[in-house]
Chain A
Amino acid sequence: MDILVLEKDLRYFLKTKADLGTITKALCESGPTVDRIKSINNQKILEIEVITNRIDCASVFGIAREANTILNQKGVDSKLENNPYTARKAASHQTQKINLRVENTKKVFQFLAVTIDSIKITQSSEEIKNTLISIGQRPINNLVDLTNLYTYLYGYPSHVFDKDKIDMSQITLRESNENEKIKLLDDSEIKLQKGDLIIEDGSKNIIDLCCVMGGKHAIVDQHTKNILLIIPTCDPKQVRKTSLAHQKRTLAAQIFEKKPDTTLAPFVFSLLVGDIINNTKAHLSSDYLVLNNLNQEPKEINLNLKWLEKFVGQPIDQNQSLTILENLGFRCHKPDINNLIVTIPTFRFDDINNQEDLAEEITRIYGYKNITPIFPVLSQPSEHQDMTFSIENKIRNTLSTLGYHEVINNSLLSEKQIISCGQEPENYLKLKNALSEDLQYMRTNLGISTIANHKSNQGTLNLKFFEIGNIYQKINEKPLEIPHLCFSAENIALLKETLNILVGHLKLTDKINLKITNNYPSYIDKNNHIGLFTNEAQIGYIGQTNSLSTIKNSLEKPISIVEIDISKISSLKPEITYLEKSIYPDIIEDLNITSNKSLGEIYGQISNQEMISKIIYLNSFQNKHTFRVHFSSNQKNLSHDEVDQIKKKIVDLVS
């Protein structure tokens, strides 16, 4: 939450000779961060970031309270003045009671109310108007402006109603029913949900969306003579729910949903009443209504000082810790030399729950920059290592050197993309609240993305892409993430050669086989693909896009894709072999084979023979294939007869 604080108002609470630069630096180091200092009309305005658990800082007084502690810690003299917690509670001598009925006391923590008569509505003073404008608020009239000013100064919102527009015979604070309506101050009309907290008058008019925004029914205007002033404090969870559901993120809602300190409310109420009466020459017309439902036992936490030293990583003088805590409003007593029993002040009640919270308070005021860094010692290595990452790096290095460009595509696809690749959106994990139609489904393969990459770059020749990323499978409605590799090019022979080199670099040449398979993506051509297998399972495929997908995806010509499941190869142990070269020279001969068997089968038959040291596939024409074969033996010089015999054997086996 960001707030604006004027220097002049800060100094109303903070009495110190320190200049603004010193105060700002102190705050940044140990407390709420001052993002920027603006200068408007000779006024200095601080833009401060208040963190979500420190609602006690969301006001000028709160910032002053923090600054006071930090400055004193740094040796700069400073005092808190005009502390609202020390304000005198003004008494009311009126006997008229406000008739309040609360339905769900669990959700109403505190309710303060009083009526004031003979109000004179005017414009606020120039000073108040300027203050409000400087902090980005619009001055309305002296009454409303005062309530806004108090919210700014003390962080406790209040609300005023025109009493004459309300049937004061009975004020009810209750939960709304579904479909009840309220017209709000901003002229919007909302349909309430079940459980919103509302205030209703004796004639069943809904006059307030409690802790969020007032209703238009009893709005204060220039004719208002008498008012009802309230400070309600309700269940923060309900306030947040109501405010989000109706999208009324008012300042009041933002404060109440973070549970401000109810102990402060009566003081602020008194000061406000006093100000209203003085400012507008009015007088109280009812007794104070004070309803307190929050029963908070004082909270005590034990702080072990030996533990503190270990947690911070260096000793902090015990007296210093004590002083810091006491300056922050914590009461301490020492039952023994190693422990402190710390009583939490009301304005930090929900925020401080354990020793670690106290450690934070001490160390931040002490100064994080005063902690000497210590490198932790690792006592033993981890049980689990993952080879996937080193394989992925090897793949990246090889493919980029071979001319492929790495892309990082979005994990989400559009329905259109899925369908133009011939796949079913039902098989994909789908987002419930996608940002756009283009990004709705989690991809189950990388091929669809690579097709899109080629399409985006139509017109550029020789495109070669690769991507390493997770795919997301839907298994019985549960998601399964698997790392995949995909690389693609325009020419399938080139792509296969790349695959060959890649597999070689990973030292898996003899572990990955090419086999016919029916398991390939719907966008791949049935006559132009083959499966990649290990001994255990299929790990992927290489293939070309079919005509239908090529056209549907607006590609000028088919592209070729390899996709591999990396998790299935990361467990393979790479094999390093060394073959000593024979001292006897090789006999190199070209083998012309006429056969209808696949190249893979023929190759397999050749390599099964003895004395074969190398096989190079040269070319084919229809079913006539040429291989260049190296024959060698470790024992002797091979004769041509022996080579001819082997050749004949091969030809017989494959014809």
Chain B
Amino acid sequence: MSNYLQELENIRKEFKLDLDKIVKIEDLNNTQVKYLGRQGLLNNFFKIYPPKGNPSLGKDVNNLKKEIIDHLKSKETSLGDNTQITDLSLPFHNNFEGSQHLISKAIKEIQDIFTKIGFNRRRYPEIDTDWYYAEGLNIPKDHPARDDQETFYLENGYVLTAHTSNGQLHEMENQSPPIRMINIGKTYRRQADASHNPMFHQFEGLVIDKNISIANLISITDYFAKSFFGQDRKTRLRPHHFQFTEPSFEIDISCDLCNGTGTKDNLSCKMCKSGWLELGGAGMVHRSVIKNGGLDPDIYSGFAFGWGVERVLLMQSGLKINDLRTLFSDDISFLTQFK
């Protein structure tokens, strides 16, 4: 009986010697295997001294096992403390190259919001005939809605489009209903000042099907406003007039600076008009336009909206860019800020 106690004591003594020899993790691992492994000394002990019928033997062995485990654990910790220290505390920087343009990212975000609900992304011509640009949209020649001073014309008579609504007619030709289109592209206007760049981007939505209603229009424009600007924002419709929609609306979104109240710190809010910011125009597609698109307006109805990408981008991000033309700068110090 006392043999096993002596044997255990021998193992304990040997372990203490081995423990002192441990200088690196591999030694620790080897020692662990030597004593605690499946073919280790403690397990082999049970082969020589079966614990059956001898509860105190089992208890003694387990005590030794626990002792060994504890020593090895402290050794592991102290070994860990000896690794070389690396200082990782420097905050993140933006000094790496490569960026995607703010406008491209905004376009992708807009595209994703609409494709998620079954819209098809299109990019219809920037240069088009007068028919697709105006006449087909119920804007006859000599109509006050035509402001020749703001539109670019090419020498060959084509128009450099100032809106993306020509896309409505192209889509009706290419696609039979149901139509859900989001046409995003470059548009041009003869205007250059702090709020206007001669080239900019617009996105145009079009939904045409049987029994499309004003209630549908409100749901989609509301969905976009909440997805893009935040769930707490509200929209409202105001009567307006466009030649290619009837009824026509202006859509406003509640101002985030004054929470739609119109006042901030008891003064009238500088950003908005009485708590509302203009988003853009919308309306039910005019029956003449539906007809011009080759569809029967007594069977099909639809709605459309056309808004500015740069405008919603600046409204969303709160970027304090005073001159819109900066967005089109190729100065690396501007580009590099927007990864």
| Pair A376/B155 contact, Cβ less than 8 Å | no
Within 8 A of A (CB), among B244-298: 246-250, 273-274, 284, 286-287
Q: Is A261 an interface residue (CB 8 A)?
A: no
Q: Report B258 CB to chain A, min CB distance, Å.
A: 15
Q: Kindly list chain B residues whose C-beta atoms are within 8 Å of the C-beta of A452.
A: 330
Give residues 363-420 of A contacting B (CB, 8 Å): 363-364, 368-369, 371-376, 378-386, 388-389, 393, 396-397, 399-412
When A and B form their complex, what is the total count of cross-chain residue pairs whose Cβ atoms lie within 8 Å?
222
Question: Which of A384, A400, A408 gathers most chain B CB within 10 Å?
Answer: A408
Determine the distance from Cα of A28 to Cα of B155 in the docked complex, in whole angstroms: 43
B214 contacts A313, C-beta separation under 8 Å? yes
Instruction: Tell me if A313 and B213 are in contact (CB < 8 A).
Output: yes
Decide yes or no whether B180 CB sits under 8 A from chain A: yes
User: Once the chains are docked, how many angstroms separate the CA of A380 from the CA of B212?
Assistant: 15
Q: Would B142 and A240 count as touching, CB distance under 8 A?
A: yes
Distance in angstroms from A368 CB to nearest chain B CB is 4
- A65 nearest CB across to chain B (Å): 15
Chain B residues within an 8 Å CB radius of A434: 152
Judging by beta carbons under 8 Å apart, are B223 and A368 in contact?
no
Interface size class of B (residues with CB under 8 A): 35 or more
Closest to A378 in B: B118
**With A314-B215, A432-B153, A463-B332 as contacts: A356 and B175 at CB distance below 8 Å:** no
Query: Out of B100, B117, B155, B188, which one reaches A400, CB within 8 Å?
Result: B100
- Are A380 and B178 neighbours in the complex by a CB distance under 8 Å? yes
Does B190 count as interface, using CB distance less than 8 angstroms?
yes
A457 touches B331 (CB 8 A): yes
Choice from B98, B154, B178, B332 contacting A379 with Cβ under 8 Å: B178
Contacts of A389 in B (CB 8 A): 111, 121, 123
* Residue among A368, A464, A468 making CB contact with B249, cutoff 8 Å: A368
Proximity bits, B70-110, A CB within 8 Å = 1, else 0: 00000000000000000000000000111111011000100
The residue from A357, A373, A433, A462 contacting B97, defined by CB atoms under 8 A apart: A462
CB neighbours (8 Å) of B99 from chain A are 400, 405-406
Question: A435–B192 contact, CB under 8 A?
Answer: yes
Q: Does A405 lie within 8 Å of B111, measured CB to CB?
A: no
Chain A residues closer than 8 Å to B250, beta-carbon distance: 33
**Residues of chain A with a CB closer than 8 A to B108's CB:** 393
Verify if A453 is at the interface (C-beta below 8 Å from B).
yes
Is A479 touching B127 in the complex (CB atoms < 8 A)? yes
Q: Chain A residues near B190 (CB, 8 Å)?
A: 433, 435
Q: Interface readout for A352-365 with B: 1 if CB under 8 Å, 0 if not?
A: 00101101100110
| Cβ-neighbour of B213 out of A311, A378, A439, A478 (below 8 A) | A311
Interface residue? B199 (CB, 8 A): yes
Verify if A30 is at the interface (C-beta below 8 Å from B): yes
Contact digits for B186-218, partner A, Cβ 8 Å, 1 yes 0 no:
101011100000110000000101011111101
CA distance A442 to B198 in the complex (A): 13
* CB of B50 within 8 Å of the partner chain: no
Residues of chain A in range 438-485 having any CB-CB distance to chain B below 8 Å: 439, 442, 452-453, 456-457, 460, 462-465, 468-470, 472, 477-479, 481, 483
Given known pairs A399-B98, A400-B99, A407-B101, the reply for A356 and B239 (CB within 8 Å) is: no
For B237, list chain A residues within 8 Å (CB). 368-369
Of the residues A52, A396, A410, A429, contact of B144 by C-beta under 8 Å? A52
A599–B332 Cα distance when bound, in Å, is 36
Given the complex, which residues of B lie within 8 Å of A310, measured CB to CB?
211, 213
Q: Which residues of B contact A464 (CB under 8 A)?
A: 97-98
Q: Is the CB of A453 within 8 A of B215?
A: no
Q: By the criterion CB–CB under 8 Å, are B212 and A376 in contact?
A: yes
Name B180's closest neighbour in chain A (CB-CB): A378
CB-CB < 8 A to A402: which residues of B?
98
Query: How close is A169's CB to chain B, nearest CB, in angstroms?
Result: 36
Q: Which residues of B contact A408 (CB under 8 A)?
A: 101, 103-104, 327-328
Q: Interface on A for B, CB 8 Å cutoff?
A: 28-33, 35-36, 51-54, 237, 240-241, 257-258, 310-314, 354, 356-357, 359-360, 363-364, 368-369, 371-376, 378-386, 388-389, 393, 396-397, 399-412, 429-436, 439, 442, 452-453, 456-457, 460, 462-465, 468-470, 472, 477-479, 481, 483
Q: List 20 A-B contacts (CB under 8 A).
A: A29-B238, A314-B215, A357-B247, A359-B214, A363-B247, A364-B247, A368-B249, A373-B215, A374-B216, A382-B120, A382-B180, A383-B175, A408-B328, A409-B330, A410-B198, A410-B199, A429-B156, A435-B190, A457-B330, A460-B332
